[in-house]
Structure 1
Amino acid sequence: MYKVLVTDGISHTGLVSLIEHPHFIVERQPTLPVAELKNIIGDYDALIVRSQTKVTVELLETAGRLRVIARAGVGVDNIDVNAATRKGIIVINAPGANTIAATEHTLAMMLSLARKIPQAHQKTAAGEWDRNSFKGVELYKKTLGVIGMGKIGTEVAKRAKSFGMNILGFDPYLTEERAKKLGFTKASLDLIAAESDFITIHTPLTNDTRGLVNDDYLRKTKKGVRFVNCARGGVIDEKALVRAIKSGHVAGAALDVFEKEPVADVELLQNPNIIVTPHLGASTIEAQEKVAQEVSAEIIEIFETQSIQNAVNMPQMSGETQAKLQPYLLLGDQMGQLVIQLLNKQAPAKIEINYYGDLIDEDTELLTRTLLKGVLSYHLSDSVNLINVLHLLKEQGVSYNVAKNATNKGFANYMELCVSNGLETARIGATVLNGYGARILKINQYRIDVKPEKYLLYIKHRDVPGMIGKVGSLLGDYGINIGTMQVGRTEVGGEAIMVLTLDKTMGADVIGELTLIDGLDEAHLLELTNVDTFEPGRVEPEFEIVESI
């Protein structure tokens, strides 16, 4: 018998298959205090939560029996996925169950915004018959800009077309062919700003999308534009939005998500041109039943057949395979994140993976998926995982190729990742050194030796005396400490690169100052969402260095 604990308000109907299954015992204890949860979690094989329960590393320390954590929803922000992965616990979610609910809520918010329905209701309910204050606008023949053309953004756009709206869609992975097939126009963010009467947000919250709609972007928008955000708080700079609405440039906004929740900002709550709802995008009876049904069905599959469909972390591996590949899995994810940033954060059209040395004898399917996930995660955030990454590649029209080569490239094991978008190409080569951990050994055509760190500064420059000193001096002026510095070049006096590990991040102003240095061609801050947890001595001897690269 497997014991399942449900700690949040999950639909009973959605849990029926699990409750009635002869091999499972389901116990429901909503709003359980953290201290009590820590005391009992060790008795359970699976845990089902929504957003209230915080699954922290401290909680997982006492969960010695736990094999599965299920989030009855899409995001997993309340679950420490890394801690769960380290303990071999599978984390699953229900990624597609709330698509219709979020789509319909977006359209409801857009219609409410266009016709001022909540404001009119409030005044009418208060006993005042006022028809003059609530003159709205029609959606017919208006232009809708959709920022983020994933499942929900696409479904919103399809339905908006039925209102006779013209659709402009932006997404790093949206191709002209797919847009044409759907009857939309592929557009840049600037074109959406210039021509849209309504703009709706459907993008994950990432480093690139945080504050995407800010003062600068709002100044580019068409006067009288209206914004809808039912995706993620933080994509819109709320202070900037309020300023633009007060100035009269933006006509209004409808927001279901906020930078901080529950929202308490009176400028948002009391502005007559802003409609707010308390994160209701997935709050339908049907959606709540579907997410519960999805996670219940998958929990049964995991325990009964070991089949995993919607894991957001690494699937289980044999102990022997895990011992060999674990450090490479972490490195592969890092390589993917870095290479897409080296491609100037552009979506790739083609991905190539090459394995060398003893890695060719291993089952590298999981490693391949990890590399690919690292590439896609920069734009798709936590919507991409090891299970759906190949599907998403196909969906986005990205081709990939994997090759295994018997040559060792100077190391017992070595892998290269190359991405291109048709115009530019970026390449990273790396390995794991016995006793030293992960090392990036090649960036584009340059040989280098860099340990992956959270903040890396990549600089391309001319190989002239004094360049390193100028860079170090400028960073010192800004109070930025350098951890390590590595240089690479192909010929004396030609083009060269330097890669620095930094103790903290830096702003665009510092990057701007760096590019003013004579002879310095490019400067990019590369950031990793995960850092190396490799333990020296953990890897078996077959990963040792064979000869200098």
Structure 2
Amino acid sequence: MFKVLVTDGISDTGLKSLFDHPNFIVERQPTLKFEELKNIIGDYEALIVRSQTKVSAELLQYADKLKVIARAGVGVDNIDVNAATGKGIIVINAPGANTIAATEHTLAMMLSMARMIPQAHKKTVGGEWDRNSFKGVELYKKTLGVIGMGKIGTEVAKRAKSFGMNILGYDPYLTEERAEKLGMKKASLDLIARESDFITIHTPLTNDTKGLVNDEYLSKTKKGVRFINVARGGIIDEKALVRAIQAGHVAGAALDVFEKEPVADPALLDNPNIIVTPHLGASTVEAQEKVAQEVSEEIIEILETQSIRNAVNMPQMSGETQQKMQPYLLLGEHVGQLVVQLLKHAPSKIEINYYGDLIEEDTELLTRTMIKGILSYHLSDSVNLINALHLLKEQGVSYNVQKNASNKGFANYMELSITKGSETAKIGATVLNGYGARIVKINDYRIDVRPESHLLLVKHQDVPGMIGKVGSLLGDYQINIGTMQVGRTTVGGEAIMVLTLDKQLTPEVIRALTLINGLNEAQSLELDNVDSFYPGRLELEKIK
């Protein structure tokens, strides 16, 4: 018998498959305090939570039997996924179950904003019959810009067409063919800004999308535009949005998500042109039943058949295989993150080549980590090792993997190349015995760089004094340099400089760098979770 603990408010209907299963015992213990939960968690094989229960590393120390943690929803911010992975516990979620709920809430927010329904309701119930202050606008023949054409964005676009709206869609993976099939136009972010009467956000929150709608972007928008955000707080710079509304450039906004929740900013709550809801995108009876049903069915599959569909953490490897491949898996994800930043576009084609000792290993999981690294730049935490190849196919991206007998000068070597149209970006990497992970090739340039959280890539003319100018400018901005590597193909031609830095560069610093005479391009490159990734780092520091 498998025991399942449910600690948050989960739909009984959604849990029916677990309640009815002869091999499962389901116990509800809502609103448990930490001390209470830690005393009983060791008796259960599965735990189902929503957002209230915090599944911390400390709690997991007491979860000796736990095999599965299920989040009845999408986000897993309340679960320490790394700690769960370390204990071999699978973390699952229900990524697609709230699609319809979020889609319909988006349309509800757009209609409510267009016709000022919340404002009119408040005045009417307050005893004032005011028909003159609430002259709305129609959706018919208006242009809707959809930023993010994943499942929810696509469903919003389909429904908006029924209102007679013209649809512009932006997504790094949206093709002309798919846009045409949906009866819409593929557009750039700038085109959406210029032509849209309404703009709705449906992207994950990533380094690339944080503050996407800022002062600069708002200045490009059509006067009288209205914004809807039922995706993630932080994609819209709230202060910039308020400024644009107060200036009369933006007509209004409908927000379900916020940079800080619960929202308390009076600039948002008291503005008559902004309507707000308390993160209700997935809050329907049907959606809550679906998420509970989805995770319940997967818990049964995992515990009875070891079949996994929606794991958000890495599957465990045993013994010798784990020890041998772990450094490559960690490096592979960072190679993927770097190469997609170099290309600056979502790729249409991926090429992976393995050399040396790696050709003797099962590299399927390593391939998945690189693809996960590539896709996560645009898709954030919606991509994991389980669904990476499925999402790649869904986005229409082809990939090819080859193993080569030559060693490229290293005992082990992997090279990842991605292409979009005529543009290609390439990263070569290896793990050096005793020294750990190294990036040894960027495009056609040979280098030797240890992956770090904050990197600066400079393309420049190979002339005397360039290194000093870059270092001096960074010093002027109080930015400390960890290491610096230079690569060139010909003397006096174009060269590259790769620097590891102590903090992320601001756009101001990048602009200042590009003003240096002979410096062709400066690009900030960011890697996630580096500090805890590479096992050899402490030993290397001791050697230094």
Q: Which TM-score band (shorter chain)?
A: over 0.9
Q: How far, CA to CA, are the matches of 1:364 and 1:157 in structure 2?
A: 39
Q: How far, CA to CA, are the matches of 2:464 and 2:54 in structure 1?
A: 53
Indicate the SS of the match to 2:167: strand
The 8 Å contact of residues 15 and 293 in structure 2, kept in 1 or not, is answered as yes
Pairing 1:159–2:159 present: yes
Tell me which moved more, 507-516 or 120-129.
120-129
Query: Per-residue CA shift, 1:470-497, capped at 9, x if unaligned?
Result: 2111111111111111222223322221
How far apart are 1:37 and its partner, in Å? 2.3
How far apart are 1:449 and its partner, in Å? 1.1
Indicate the SS of the match to 2:15: helix
Query: Per-residue CA shift, 1:303-358, capped at 9, x if unaligned?
Result: 11110001111123333322221111111110000011111x21111110001122
Q: How far, CA to CA, are the matches of 2:207 and 2:216 in structure 1?
A: 17
The 8 Å contact of residues 434 and 536 in structure 1, kept in 2 or not, is answered as no
Q: How far, CA to CA, are the matches of 1:331 and 1:396 in structure 2?
A: 24
How far apart are 1:27 and its partner, in Å? 2.0
Counterpart of 1:290, as a letter, is K
Indicate the SS of the match to 2:160: helix
Look up the match of 2:542.
Answer: none
Q: How far, CA to CA, are the matches of 2:407 and 2:176 in structure 1?
A: 41
Counterpart of 2:118, as a letter, is P
Look up the match of 1:488.
Answer: 487
Counterpart of 2:36, as a letter, is E
The 8 Å contact of residues 434 and 537 in structure 1, kept in 2 or not, is answered as no
Look up the match of 1:543.
Answer: none
Q: How far, CA to CA, are the matches of 2:425 and 2:262 in structure 1?
A: 42
Pairing 1:417–2:437 present: no
The 8 Å contact of residues 99 and 151 in structure 1, kept in 2 or not, is answered as yes
Look up the match of 1:126.
Answer: 126
Counterpart of 1:183, as a letter, is G
Q: How far, CA to CA, are the matches of 1:492 and 1:141 in structure 2?
A: 59
What are the residue-to-residue correspondences of 1:120-519 with 2, within 5 Å? Answer: 120-343=120-343, 345-519=344-518
The 8 Å contact of residues 143 and 165 in structure 1, kept in 2 or not, is answered as yes
How far apart are 1:64 and its partner, in Å? 2.9
The 8 Å contact of residues 455 and 504 in structure 1, kept in 2 or not, is answered as yes
Q: How far, CA to CA, are the matches of 2:399 and 2:423 in structure 1?
A: 16
Query: Per-residue CA shift, 1:47-76, capped at 9, x if unaligned?
Result: 211111222222223333322111111121
Look up the match of 1:529.
Answer: 528
Q: How far, CA to CA, are the matches of 1:260 and 1:404 in structure 2?
A: 48
The 8 Å contact of residues 85 and 316 in structure 2, kept in 1 or not, is answered as no
How far apart are 1:243 and its partner, in Å? 1.5
Q: How far, CA to CA, are the matches of 2:359 and 2:352 in structure 1?
A: 12
Q: How far, CA to CA, are the matches of 1:184 and 1:91 in structure 2?
A: 37
Identity over aligned residues, as a percent? 83
Counterpart of 1:105, as a letter, is H
Question: Are the structure 2 counterparts of residues 281 and 125 from structure 1 closer, same or farther at C-alpha, using a change threshold of 3 Å?
Answer: same
Indicate the SS of the match to 1:75: coil
How far apart are 1:505 and its partner, in Å? 1.2
Query: Per-residue CA shift, 1:124-164, capped at 9, x if unaligned?
Result: 22222221111111111111010111000000000000010
Question: Are the structure 2 counterparts of residues 43 and 538 from structure 1 closer, same or farther at C-alpha, using a change threshold of 3 Å?
Answer: farther
Q: How far, CA to CA, are the matches of 2:264 and 2:538 in structure 1?
A: 49
Q: How far, CA to CA, are the matches of 1:394 and 1:147 in structure 2?
A: 21
Counterpart of 1:263, as a letter, is V
Counterpart of 1:39, as a letter, is N
Indicate the SS of the match to 2:25: strand
Question: Are the structure 2 counterparts of residues 286 and 366 from structure 1 closer, same or farther at C-alpha, using a change threshold of 3 Å?
Answer: same
How far apart are 1:9 and its partner, in Å? 1.1
Tell me which moved more, 59-68 or 89-98.
59-68
Tell me which moved more, 228-237 or 526-535.
526-535
Query: Per-residue CA shift, 1:164-195, capped at 9, x if unaligned?
Result: 00000011111111101110101111111111
Q: How far, CA to CA, are the matches of 2:512 and 2:120 in structure 1?
A: 52
Counterpart of 1:474, as a letter, is L
How far apart are 1:535 and its partner, in Å? 2.1
Q: How far, CA to CA, are the matches of 1:17 and 1:454 in structure 2?
A: 44
Indicate the SS of the match to 2:390: helix
Question: Are the structure 2 counterparts of residues 386 and 256 from structure 1 closer, same or farther at C-alpha, using a change threshold of 3 Å?
Answer: same
Can you give the 5+ residue segments of structure 1 that lack an aligned partner in the other structure? 540-549
Look up the match of 2:65.
Answer: 65
Counterpart of 1:429, as a letter, is G
Q: How far, CA to CA, are the matches of 2:485 and 2:88 in structure 1?
A: 35
How far apart are 1:289 and its partner, in Å? 0.5
Tell me which moved more, 467-476 or 162-171.
467-476
How far apart are 1:538 and its partner, in Å? 12
Look up the match of 1:3.
Answer: 3
Query: Per-residue CA shift, 1:16-37, capped at 9, x if unaligned?
Result: 2112322222222222112332
What are the residue-to-residue correspondences of 1:47-66 with 2, within 5 Å? Answer: 47-66=47-66
Counterpart of 1:446, as a letter, is Y
Counterpart of 2:306, as a letter, is Q
Aligned length in residues: 538
Indicate the SS of the match to 1:417: strand
Counterpart of 1:178, as a letter, is R
The 8 Å contact of residues 435 and 538 in structure 1, kept in 2 or not, is answered as no
Look up the match of 1:542.
Answer: none
Q: How far, CA to CA, are the matches of 2:230 and 2:429 in structure 1?
A: 40
Counterpart of 1:43, as a letter, is D
How far apart are 1:253 and its partner, in Å? 0.9
Q: How far, CA to CA, are the matches of 1:524 and 1:439 in structure 2?
A: 19
Q: How far, CA to CA, are the matches of 2:21 and 2:72 in structure 1?
A: 19
What are the residue-to-residue correspondences of 1:9-158 with 2, within 5 Å? Answer: 9-158=9-158
Q: How far, CA to CA, are the matches of 1:537 and 1:223 in structure 2?
A: 53
How far apart are 1:537 and its partner, in Å? 10
The 8 Å contact of residues 308 and 315 in structure 1, kept in 2 or not, is answered as no
Indicate the SS of the match to 2:127: coil
The 8 Å contact of residues 334 and 530 in structure 1, kept in 2 or not, is answered as no
Indicate the SS of the match to 2:26: strand
TM-score by structure 1 length? 0.95
Q: How far, CA to CA, are the matches of 2:209 and 2:536 in structure 1?
A: 36
Counterpart of 1:179, as a letter, is A
Indicate the SS of the match to 1:242: helix
Query: Per-residue CA shift, 1:90-127, capped at 9, x if unaligned?
Result: 11110110000000000011111111111112222222
